[in-house]
Structure 1
Amino acid sequence: MALVLVTGASTGLGLATATALAADGHDVVLHARNAGRLEDPSVLDRMYGVVYGDLSLPEETVEVGRQADVIGRFDAVVHNAGVMRGGDVLAVNTVAPFVLTATMTPPERAIFLSSGMHFSGSPQRLEPDFAAPGRTSYADSKLFVTALALALARRWPQTVSHAVDPGWVPTRMGGPSAPESLEDGRTTQVWLATAEEDSIDPRTGGYWYHEAVRAPHAATSDPRFQDAVVDVLEARTGFALPR
């Protein structure tokens, strides 16, 4: 039985992930922006706990991490929360996972939701995007968070860290005509969060799509770009990844 935190789990893919983990007998802590975001409050009856906070706001993100740490050290954190467009894309998709990683007790495993759209992101946009975060594209934000996941795998060998492309699934972001199912979209992160470690190959530092490893954007595997992403996140937030 694993203790797992799933961010952005009030609806959609995050909710599907959280409920699948709970159905498998794991202790799941659901994160939502606030109680009003829960489409079905009865879902909390199946959860081990709940934490609230707006991940677009650094101070509330820190508070989410504090609430989570009170519960205990997590076996896995699934960084699922995301937004597709608007001024909070960089804050929610990239900065929040970094802040939680930098401020929480390190989990045994960290799973970061990427996207196939990260291949359209530009490494050259790193500095401009952080200078004007309200203009960051979804593709760029997913490029950066994928690099963060792989940087963590390199820097924290004791923590299993992976990036996951869940595919195009029918959520509020994906739309009703998405060709893949929520079950397709949740399966890999559920497996990575809870499977026996020796069944995951590579053990850490993978970019996954439907339980298969794929090659990510070349920049995300470059330690220089990984370090550049971490450096700009540390400078922006004032938090440093523990060494």
Structure 2
Amino acid sequence: MAKIFITGSTDGLGMLAAKQLIKVGNDVYLHARNESRAIDARVQVPYAKEILIGDLASKSEVKNLAKQMNEIGPFDTVIYNAGISSNNKRSIFKVNVLAPYMLTALTTKPKRIIYISSSMHKGAKLDLDNLENDTDYSSSKLQILMLTKALSRKWQVAVNAVDPGWVPTKMGGPNANDDLIEGYTSQVWLATLDDPKVTGKYFYHMRPDDYDKRVDNVSLQDEFLEKIASISGIKLPN
């Protein structure tokens, strides 16, 4: 049995992964943006251990969420599932990149970290001098994969990224043609995988997949970490 926290778990793939992980006997903690969504989640996932609340678009609420996590933790696994797709690039950066970075840096290291990326990261623009204003959805998923690679190199933690595919969730929309169950199977599998050698990988449907090789550039990783540390005011611990 593992102690697991999942961001963005009041609906979609986050909730589906939570339900499956609870079904097989794990202690799962959910995350909601606000109290209203938490109330709905308590109905949908009655066996969740607890629901932590915090708006990932707000630095102060992200810091408070990290405090909540540390009071309950340490966790065996954290799944950074939350993400948005929007025309507002500043919002995308805050929710998809800055929030998971801050939570990772501010909380006690778990045994396993899982980030949600996307095949859309391939070939995405990466403007390290203007991350706050020029990060679209594809770029955010490239940055998340770069964070995955950097942490797997620097920390003694199993850190992996998952492409869930284009699935028919609220974000994916009704025209999505990928398998919904496969969309969360990799996260569920990795959440309890006791193999520290499986780290720094990019999975699609439980198999390593091709990815943008820029993320393997150590100098680029370090520059990215310096930039996001400057923006957040928080450095990753050693």
Correspondence for 1:107 among 107, 110, 120: 110
In structure 2, the residue matched to 1:141 is 140
> What are the superposed Cα offsets for residues 72-129 of structure 1, whole Å, 9 maximum, x if unpaired?
2000000000001124100111101100010000111110000010013123x22223
- SS of corresponding position for 2:131: helix
For residues 40 and 65 of structure 1, what CA distance do their matches in structure 2 show? Answer: 20
Q: CA deviation at 1:37?
A: 2.1
> What are the superposed Cα offsets for residues 164-194 of structure 1, whole Å, 9 maximum, x if unpaired?
1010011111001211232110000111111
Does the 8 Å contact 2:30/2:51 carry over to 1? yes
Which amino acid letter does the alignment assign opposite residue 104 of structure 1?
T
Does the 8 Å contact 1:5/1:78 carry over to 2? yes
Does the 8 Å contact 1:7/1:31 carry over to 2? yes
Does the 8 Å contact 2:62/2:99 carry over to 1? yes
Does the 8 Å contact 1:112/1:163 carry over to 2? yes
Does the 8 Å contact 1:115/1:166 carry over to 2? yes
In structure 2, the residue matched to 1:233 is 228
- SS of corresponding position for 1:175: coil
Which runs of 5 or more structure 1 residues have no equivalent in the other structure? none
Is residue 2:14 matched to residue 1:11? no
For residues 67 and 126 of structure 1, what CA distance do their matches in structure 2 show? Answer: 31
Aligned counterparts, 1:107-186, within 5 A: 107-123=110-126, 125-130=127-132, 132=133, 135-156=134-155, 158-186=156-184
- SS of corresponding position for 2:169: coil
Q: How well do the aligned residues superpose, as a CA RMSD in angstroms?
A: 1.4
For residues 150 and 49 of structure 2, what CA distance do their matches in structure 1 show? Answer: 30
Does the 8 Å contact 1:78/1:112 carry over to 2? yes
Q: CA deviation at 1:40?
A: 4.7
> What are the superposed Cα offsets for residues 212-241 of structure 1, whole Å, 9 maximum, x if unpaired?
012321111111111111111100011110
In structure 1, the residue matched to 2:22 is 22
In structure 2, the residue matched to 1:76 is 77
Question: How much identity, in percent, do the aligned residues show?
Answer: 39
Which runs of 5 or more structure 2 residues have no equivalent in the other structure? none
- SS of corresponding position for 2:200: coil
For residues 165 and 120 of structure 2, what CA distance do their matches in structure 1 show? Answer: 10
Q: Report the TM-score, using the length of structure 2 for normalisation.
A: 0.95
Q: CA deviation at 1:46?
A: 1.2
